[in-house]
Amino acid sequence: MDVRYSKRFQKQYKKLPHPIQIKVYKTIKIFSREPFAITLKNHALRGEFKGERAISVTGNVRAVFEEEDNYKKVTFIRVGTHNQVY
């Protein structure tokens, strides 16, 4: 899996508290090995975000991504609290 990060994702990531940054890093590491691990709660988004997917980092923090070619390429586009990314 080729994992990439948009500039927006990188900017939002840098603004997160350090403990949350560590959780995001560990979550994406798990995701790259097993994108549908039950703990990630990988799910498709609807409405204006149709075509995007999200995984749970914590109870309130999400990482939003777009996948191509059956998860061969994944681009993380947003990260933050539920209210920040939706």
For the segment 38-76, what is each residue's pLDDT rounded down to a tens digit?
Answer: 999 999 999 999 999 999 999 999 999 999 999 999 999
Residue 49 φ/ψ, nearest 5 degrees? -105, 15
Predicted TM-score (pTM) of the model is 0.94
Retrieve residue 67's tokens: 């996948």
For residue 12, what are the contacts with CB-CB under 8 A and spacing of at least 6? 78, 79, 80, 84
Task: For residue range 3-29, list pLDDT tens digits in order.
Answer: 999 999 999 999 999 999 999 999 999
For residue 3, what are the contacts with CB-CB under 8 A and spacing of at least 6? 28, 32, 74, 75, 76
- The CATH superfamily label for domain 2-80 reads RelE-like (3.30.2310.20)
Residue 86 pLDDT level (bands cut at 50, 70, 90)? confident
Domain boundaries in the chain?
2-80
